[in-house]
Structure 1
Amino acid sequence: MLRSLSIRDFVIVDRLDLEFSAGFTVFSGETGAGKSILIDALALALGERGDASMVRTGHARADITAEFAADAAARPDLEAWLQAQALSLEEHGGVLLRRVLDSGGRSRAFINGTPATLAQLRELGDMLVDIHGQHAHQQLLRPEAQRKLLDNHADLGELAAGTAAAHRDWRRLVKRCEEARGRDRELQLERERLEWQAAELDKLAPVEGEWDDISAEHRRLSHAASLISGAQGALDVLAESDNAIVPALGHIVHQMRQFAEIDGDLADTLAALEPAEIQLREAVHSLTHYAQKIDLDPERLAVVEQRLDALHSAARKFRVQPAQLPTEHAARRLQLEELTASQDMAAMQAATEAAHAAYLKLARELSKGRATAAASLSREVTRAMQDLSMPGGRFEVALTPTPEAQSFGLETIDFLVAGHPGVPTRPLAKVASGGELARISLALQVIASSASLTPTLIFDEVDSGIGGAVAEVVGRLLRELGQGRQVLCVTHLPQVAALGHQHLRVKKRSEGDATLSEIVPLGRGERVEEIARMLGGVEITATTRKHAREMLAL
């Protein structure tokens, strides 16, 4: 549930820190006091889009932080999501969502102090809070909203998403089959071209790293005479001529050892000469081995030059560097395999049929779940209508099979209603008046929310268009919902406000030229005054105060 909300410089709120408790909490206040700003601020912390106009005039940024209690044992789905995002619950078992919006319109988001994306914020927010806006009853006229409400009520959201994904896969394969049939001649020519190119490269069989190796071998073979001559000349100078360096240096080192025993000042000279003699002898050994190994091999040179020419020619033909021929070979082979697979109409048709079967399996399971949920929701809303001043009214969720399979399933979903006994049900949009629509919408939202796992439910003036005894029923519905869930409700109805477990008042105050909004929790006496204001307007009389006390007592 929502533990606390901290707001800084948001619209007309300068600084606000609110603590929340479980149960049913109501917010009231005069028109224009900023009751819905609280909901807007929380929605921003939950990942809704924001803009620079939300930053309080004259300030650099708006900063909203929402803290939620989260029991890992009760919400393993929440803990699993956090772990998947490399996040974890706070030490005190909570989740901290923060959103910073600057005056330039740039936004930053954080989850438990770690930078996050808006998508992550929204995904996590959907698991923590469900917000019902004041125009929810108007949205409920749209078929997709009715379908979503039924699916959410029946906990079919995941199955519906899986059905939509299966439908996309199936339609993608259908499109690929159609394109393959339409491009058959073009694909055949492309396949012939790729087969020729792949065969050319198969015959050449370039190997990774071959170009560098054979180029080095060619350089060595083509300069073999020079290399042999150079190596032998170096050996003559170093070790094999009459005046060779290595024997002469060995003689000098021998003398220096004797002289160093006589005069220690020659020790440094000896230390410099001895390593030189060792290194020169190692060089002679290496040159001797090299001279014995290298040989003039015109036949091998011819083979190497032929291979180089073949690699050069293929590289020019395929317009790549010679060293890239192995990669090009693999790429052409892969293209040919993919094209061959794409032209295998039998395999493509089989894959398409398998995808269709997978879609139908999910869609039929979804239809079965919807049918059960539709019957249950119809009964529950019909029962609620009797208490909402619609005696004899009936509500029905109609499932109509679609002519063709759709991404949302095999049926359309229509909410039908009969406002009076003895009349047939008709679509919600055609028969419900504004007041009836608001009442039915609220009943639907309350009933659907009761089946949800979302721990915090927010109703933003969803009780508009109703009043009197119906308003009291609405308040009781929300209070009953608050017995097992945290419910926050922005209301203008005293009948609803009187039934809250907690009551907060939103009011405006002036500070210089600025108008600011603040929210204060109300005690028993203050609640009487606020309920009286909601009942009687500007003039609060003893009668309205008495009425307010009676409402609170009930």
Structure 2
Amino acid sequence: MLNSLSIQNYALIDTLNVTFNNGFTIITGETGAGKSILLGGLGLVLGKRADLSSLRDETKKCIIEAAFDVEKYHLKDFFIDKDLDFEEKTIIRREILPSGKSRAFVNDSPVTLDVLSSLGDRLIDIHSQHQTLQLADNDFQLKVIDALAGNGTFLIEFNKGLLSYQKTQRELKKLIVFQENATKEYDYNSHLLKELEVAPLKAGILEELEEQYEQLNNVEIIEEHLSKGHSLLNDEQIGIVTLLTELKLASSKLAAFGQQFIGLNERINSVFIEVDDISSELQTLQENSEANPEVLEQVNTKLQLLYNLFKKHSVGTIEELIDIKEKLAESVSAADSVESDIKSKEKELQTKESTLDDLALKIRKKRNKVIPELQKQLLESLAQLGMPSATFKIEINPSPIFNASGKDELLFLFAANKGSNYGDLKKVASGGELSRIMLTIKSILAKYEQLPTMMFDEIDTGVSGEISGKMGDIMKAMSANMQVFSITHLPQVASKGIHHFKVYKEEEGMVTHTRMKKLSTEERVRELAEMLGGKDISASALAHAKQLLG
């Protein structure tokens, strides 16, 4: 419910602070007194667009703040989803700066106008005679039927299942598209994969093959240098091994003359062993080195294969080819298995569709069951509101597709008079009739679910005193379970309120201000009397006003 409203520097309002209570609240005032200004300010705090023309003093910012008790509105998930702090006493603030910029806050957290508007829709329903398009909306009509049918739990379960069903549909479509594309590319990808599978792809293989190729391709040069090296080491006259043998013999004799010669001898022995080992390795390499055209051809073939693959795939390393091979393998494997994946997904979709069909059937049965009761309540209420001949034709029929409210098509037609043809509400009902129908429907809804604060803006325009009194009775009955406001010019409605506020203009020097105050019982009597007979209040008007107030 709306607990309080504070407005600063807006239109004709300099400063306004007002506190509201639960139940049925009446707001009255002469035409032009500023009731529309009050609604405009409230609209801003609920997310409506603003402009600089709304500033009373264009050098100062406009601040509008509203406090709400949201305990009963089940909004905790909304606050979590929007990353807002949830408070049972929630404060919404809107600021319009002289620069033209606008800021909005919920519990001191900045929010966008979209978030503010979405929250506002859950807190206050402002309804005027010109805002009856909702009546022709099938979703709204089904909401009324579902409220009577108690379909809330089923609809939550259905919507959860529908989201899962739609997700599975998207996954199946993705698989089918993948299959179509994979079929076109399958042969080519398989060919590329086979080429890579026969290639010697392993880390270091390129360097290894290139080294092997160089050795095989230059075997004669290698043999020549190995032979020359072996000769230099082993020549009988000047070979290094021969000379080192003589050096080793000399150093061994010196070792007998002291420690310093022992160390020298050991170093010479070490050099001899190393050179002798080199000599042996040179001989072995020379013996094993021989031309092998067949192996050379095999190595060259592998290298050319790798070079061709580098060029074909526009890469330069074995690791990149291995990565491409793995991706191709995945693609080919996926193409091979996609058929079974599609069948599995189709089976999953059928299961979910069957579950949704069962739920939709339960929802439909409950809807059909309460339609007679809804028609009865509508006709009884409209008869009291001066529409005794009004009738409705309401039918629920199966729909071929799922939607957010089940799998139904709703026929909701209206005839205002006997013998009239049924038609869409917005086409065959007048503005006054639509207002009374909307009031009736909202009053029925209020019996079955928690509605936001309801604000009726001159919904009783153009109806007789007797009918307006009945409309007042309906709004008062609604206020037993919710907060209801009625902005009205009719004393028959105003007398039904529990709380009564008056909006009026006051001049201070050359400046006009819009004010708002809560009326006492005595002030209510005078306000009703003035609404009945004008500024010159007569004794009969006062008596009638007291009679209306009971």
State whether TM-score is above 0.5: yes
The alignment status of 1:475 with 2:475, answered yes or no, reads no
Once the two structures are TM-superposed, the CA of residue 351 in structure 1 deviates from its matched residue by: 5.1
Go from structure 1 to structure 2 and tell me whether the alpha carbon gap of 1:502 and 1:49 turns closer, same or farther (over 3 Å shift). Answer: same
* Counterpart residue number, 2:111: 116
Go from structure 1 to structure 2 and tell me whether the alpha carbon gap of 1:106 and 1:385 turns closer, same or farther (over 3 Å shift). Answer: same
Query: Alpha-carbon deviations, 1:387-422, whole Å to 9, x = none?
Result: 212335444433244466556543332333444568
In 2, Cα distance between the equivalents of 1:514 and 1:341? Answer: 81
* Counterpart residue number, 2:222: none
Q: Structure 1: which amino acid aligns with 2:61?
A: R
Asked if the contact 2:183–2:335 (Cα under 8 Å) also holds between the matched residues in 1, the reply is no
Q: Structure 1: which amino acid aligns with 2:33?
A: A
* Counterpart residue number, 2:15: 15
Asked if the contact 2:161–2:356 (Cα under 8 Å) also holds between the matched residues in 1, the reply is yes
The alignment status of 1:520 with 2:520, answered yes or no, reads no
Q: Structure 2: which amino acid aligns with 1:399?
A: I
Number of equivalenced pairs: 462
* Counterpart residue number, 1:449: 446
* Counterpart residue number, 2:526: 529
In 2, Cα distance between the equivalents of 1:343 and 1:332? Answer: 18
Once the two structures are TM-superposed, the CA of residue 19 in structure 1 deviates from its matched residue by: 0.6
Alignment gaps of 5+ in structure 1:
219-297, 299-305
Asked if the contact 2:68–2:91 (Cα under 8 Å) also holds between the matched residues in 1, the reply is yes
In 2, Cα distance between the equivalents of 1:481 and 1:489? Answer: 12
* Counterpart residue number, 2:64: 64
Go from structure 1 to structure 2 and tell me whether the alpha carbon gap of 1:45 and 1:433 turns closer, same or farther (over 3 Å shift). Answer: closer
- Considering only CA atoms, is the larger Rg found in Structure 1 or Structure 2? 2
TM-score by length of 1: 0.68
Once the two structures are TM-superposed, the CA of residue 7 in structure 1 deviates from its matched residue by: 1.8
In 2, Cα distance between the equivalents of 1:369 and 1:359? Answer: 15
Asked if the contact 1:7–1:16 (Cα under 8 Å) also holds between the matched residues in 2, the reply is yes
Alignment gaps of 5+ in structure 2:
211-284, 286-300
Once the two structures are TM-superposed, the CA of residue 520 in structure 1 deviates from its matched residue by: 1.6
Q: Structure 1: which amino acid aligns with 2:26?
A: V
In 2, Cα distance between the equivalents of 1:450 and 1:472? Answer: 20
**306-315 or 417-426: which moved more?**
306-315
Asked if the contact 1:386–1:392 (Cα under 8 Å) also holds between the matched residues in 2, the reply is yes
Asked if the contact 1:163–1:408 (Cα under 8 Å) also holds between the matched residues in 2, the reply is no
Q: Structure 2: which amino acid aligns with 1:463?
A: D
**Percent of aligned pairs with the same residue?**
31
The alignment status of 1:25 with 2:25, answered yes or no, reads yes
Go from structure 1 to structure 2 and tell me whether the alpha carbon gap of 1:64 and 1:341 turns closer, same or farther (over 3 Å shift). Answer: farther
Once the two structures are TM-superposed, the CA of residue 473 in structure 1 deviates from its matched residue by: 0.8
Once the two structures are TM-superposed, the CA of residue 86 in structure 1 deviates from its matched residue by: 5.2
Query: Alpha-carbon deviations, 1:66-101, whole Å to 9, x = none?
Result: 212244xx56x33454455554444xx411222223
In 2, Cα distance between the equivalents of 1:14 and 1:332? Answer: 73
For 1:287-302, list aligned pairs within 5 A. Answer: none
The alignment status of 1:380 with 2:391, answered yes or no, reads no
Q: Structure 2: which amino acid aligns with 1:97?
A: I
Asked if the contact 1:387–1:470 (Cα under 8 Å) also holds between the matched residues in 2, the reply is yes
* Counterpart residue number, 1:410: 407
Asked if the contact 2:450–2:482 (Cα under 8 Å) also holds between the matched residues in 1, the reply is no
In 1, Cα distance between the equivalents of 2:10 and 2:201? Answer: 67
Q: Secondary structure at the match of 2:21?
A: coil
In 1, Cα distance between the equivalents of 2:462 and 2:78? Answer: 39
Once the two structures are TM-superposed, the CA of residue 440 in structure 1 deviates from its matched residue by: 1.8
Asked if the contact 1:461–1:491 (Cα under 8 Å) also holds between the matched residues in 2, the reply is yes
Go from structure 1 to structure 2 and tell me whether the alpha carbon gap of 1:52 and 1:349 turns closer, same or farther (over 3 Å shift). Answer: farther
In 2, Cα distance between the equivalents of 1:164 and 1:190? Answer: 34
In 2, Cα distance between the equivalents of 1:206 and 1:546? Answer: 106
* Counterpart residue number, 1:189: 184
In 2, Cα distance between the equivalents of 1:103 and 1:117? Answer: 19
Q: Secondary structure at the match of 1:136?
A: coil
* Counterpart residue number, 2:38: 38
In 2, Cα distance between the equivalents of 1:529 and 1:204? Answer: 102
Asked if the contact 2:52–2:58 (Cα under 8 Å) also holds between the matched residues in 1, the reply is no
Q: Structure 2: which amino acid aligns with 1:447?
A: I
The alignment status of 1:146 with 2:175, answered yes or no, reads no
Query: Alpha-carbon deviations, 1:417-441, whole Å to 9, x = none?
Result: 4445687865434553443332222
In 2, Cα distance between the equivalents of 1:308 and 1:7? Answer: 84
Query: Alpha-carbon deviations, 1:215-237, whole Å to 9, x = none?
Result: 9xx9xxxxxxxxxxxxxxxxxxx
The alignment status of 1:550 with 2:547, answered yes or no, reads yes
Asked if the contact 1:16–1:519 (Cα under 8 Å) also holds between the matched residues in 2, the reply is yes
* Counterpart residue number, 1:266: none
Asked if the contact 1:379–1:395 (Cα under 8 Å) also holds between the matched residues in 2, the reply is no
For 1:124-523, list aligned pairs within 5 A. Answer: 124-151=119-146, 156=152, 158=156, 165=163, 184=180, 187-196=182-191, 317-319=312-314, 346-347=343-344, 349-350=346-347, 352-354=349-351, 356-391=353-388, 393-402=390-399, 409-419=406-416, 427-429=424-426, 431-510=428-507, 515-523=512-520
In 2, Cα distance between the equivalents of 1:321 and 1:20? Answer: 77
Go from structure 1 to structure 2 and tell me whether the alpha carbon gap of 1:45 and 1:310 turns closer, same or farther (over 3 Å shift). Answer: farther
Q: Secondary structure at the match of 2:91?
A: strand
State the superposition RMSD in angstroms. 4.6
Q: Structure 2: which amino acid aligns with 1:475?
A: G
Go from structure 1 to structure 2 and tell me whether the alpha carbon gap of 1:106 and 1:58 turns closer, same or farther (over 3 Å shift). Answer: closer
* Counterpart residue number, 1:541: 538
Go from structure 1 to structure 2 and tell me whether the alpha carbon gap of 1:134 and 1:429 turns closer, same or farther (over 3 Å shift). Answer: closer
Once the two structures are TM-superposed, the CA of residue 17 in structure 1 deviates from its matched residue by: 1.3
Q: Secondary structure at the match of 1:391?
A: coil
In 2, Cα distance between the equivalents of 1:201 and 1:357? Answer: 47
Once the two structures are TM-superposed, the CA of residue 384 in structure 1 deviates from its matched residue by: 0.8
**144-153 or 170-179: which moved more?**
170-179
Q: Structure 1: which amino acid aligns with 2:68?
A: F
Go from structure 1 to structure 2 and tell me whether the alpha carbon gap of 1:324 and 1:405 turns closer, same or farther (over 3 Å shift). Answer: same
In 2, Cα distance between the equivalents of 1:392 and 1:34? Answer: 38
Once the two structures are TM-superposed, the CA of residue 501 in structure 1 deviates from its matched residue by: 0.7
Asked if the contact 1:166–1:359 (Cα under 8 Å) also holds between the matched residues in 2, the reply is no
Q: Structure 2: which amino acid aligns with 1:459?
A: F
Q: Secondary structure at the match of 1:464?
A: coil
Q: Secondary structure at the match of 2:75?
A: helix
Query: Alpha-carbon deviations, 1:318-339, whole Å to 9, x = none?
Result: 4568677777666666666666
